[in-house]
Amino acid sequence: MRPQAAHRATLTALTALAPVSWGTTYAVTTEFLPPDRPLFTGLLRALPAGLLLLALARVLPRGAWWWKSVVLGALNIGAFFPLLFLSAYRLPGGMAAVVGSVGPLFVVGLSALLLGQRPSPRTLLTGIAAAFGVSLVVLQAAGALDALGVLAAFASTASMSAGTVLTKRWGRPEGVGPLALTGWQLTAGGLLIAPLAVLVEGAPPALDGRAVGGYLYLALANTAVAYWLWFRGIGRLTATQVTFLGPLSPLTAAVVGWAALGQALTPVQLAGMALAFGATVAGQIGPRRKPSGPEAVRGTSGGPVLGSPGRKDPRELKGGSGQGVTGQGVTGQGLTGPALRR
């Protein structure tokens, strides 16, 4: 394997740890946490993790990044967490997961709306295959559905998808790493959740040892580390590649249910897992790009044709951050050919 390909595979694998970790959220929520506290749970998941990352990064937003951090924090954390836990509390575990698996299609649609990017047929078919595969895994025993829970699940997926597109669109300020960017968003999102949690749910519930352990896991491994890996991946991979890692979350939830909760897996579910995993792998393969710039106009002698335009490094388009909208950013191998989200 070439060094560049090996580096990309390692980066993809590390980014994939985020949705794998998020796949344990359902089991932790139902087995360890106090019931019917989606806002309090979202608050304890976001704010301590954000403050910890801020203390480690020691960097605060500047200029326009104050309001950008609030917007991203609201989409990726402040709205997403409460809606996610509301759907987890009100729906069978599998139904919330299958709604989340349509995230790639949400990202494709939002990219067409916000960025003017036309999706390729292969991207659409891969997204449909992923959602169908996840549905085979998790809808076997869905039972009666709660309308509010379904609405919350769709809204949480839409919120995270919009956050993924804008995170890729805006990139990061020059000299700011993913640790600081993650801390900004988690802190902003947690602060947005805090007043709602007090107004809607009142005083915090009494916590036993299991609940404390569950919240520590959600705040540290499931949020601080996982979101740092996720935003790091968004900065270095295309939005399409990142969002197609999302189906790993419900697949992990199914495996955890089988291994830890004694839930059986049928042949149909195993086939769905194979289909969803295959779609996840296919989503990591970017479209072939035709040569452009100097490479497209070289003469037979190997030199560039006189007067041929050069192609700028995409990093120049965003002050060295490599997060531009052209080149290798959104239009290169990204959304033309979107997370869990969850």
**Residue 93 has what pLDDT?**
56
CA distance 19 to 21: 5
Residue 162 token pair:
């919009």
What does each of the 342 residues of the chain score in pLDDT, given as a tens digit? 677 878 888 999 999 999 899 888 878 888 899 888 889 988 999 999 999 999 999 999 999 999 999 999 999 999 988 887 787 777 765 566 667 777 777 887 777 777 666 777 877 888 888 778 777 776 654 455 677 887 888 888 889 889 988 988 888 898 899 999 999 999 999 999 999 999 999 998 889 999 999 999 999 999 999 999 999 998 888 777 787 888 888 788 778 877 776 666 778 777 887 888 788 888 777 655 444 444 343 333 333 333 333 344 443 334 433 333 333 332 233 333 333 334
Query: Is the distance from CB of 246 to CB of 20 less than 8 angstroms?
Result: no
CA distance 217 to 205: 18
* Residue 281, CA distances (Å) to 132, 133, 135 in order: 15, 13, 18
**Residue 262 has what pLDDT?**
67
Q: Which of 34, 28, 21, 39 is nearest to 79 (CA)?
A: 39
Which residues, listed in sequence order, are joined to residue 304 by a DSSP beta bridge? 298
DSSP three-state, residue 340: coil
Where do we find the tokens 């805006």?
170
For the CA atoms of 267, 272, 275, 281, the dihedral, rounded to the nearest 10 degrees, stands at -110
CB atoms < 10 A from the CB of 120, how many?
Answer: 15
Describe the crossing of helices 80-90 and 38-57 by its angle, rounded to 10 degrees.
140
Which residues, listed in sequence order, are joined to residue 298 by a DSSP beta bridge? 304
Alpha helices in 64-173 (DSSP H): 65-73, 80-90, 93-100, 103-114, 121-138, 147-170
* Residue 252, CA distances (Å) to 20, 93, 256 in order: 6, 12, 6
**Residue 86 has what pLDDT?**
80
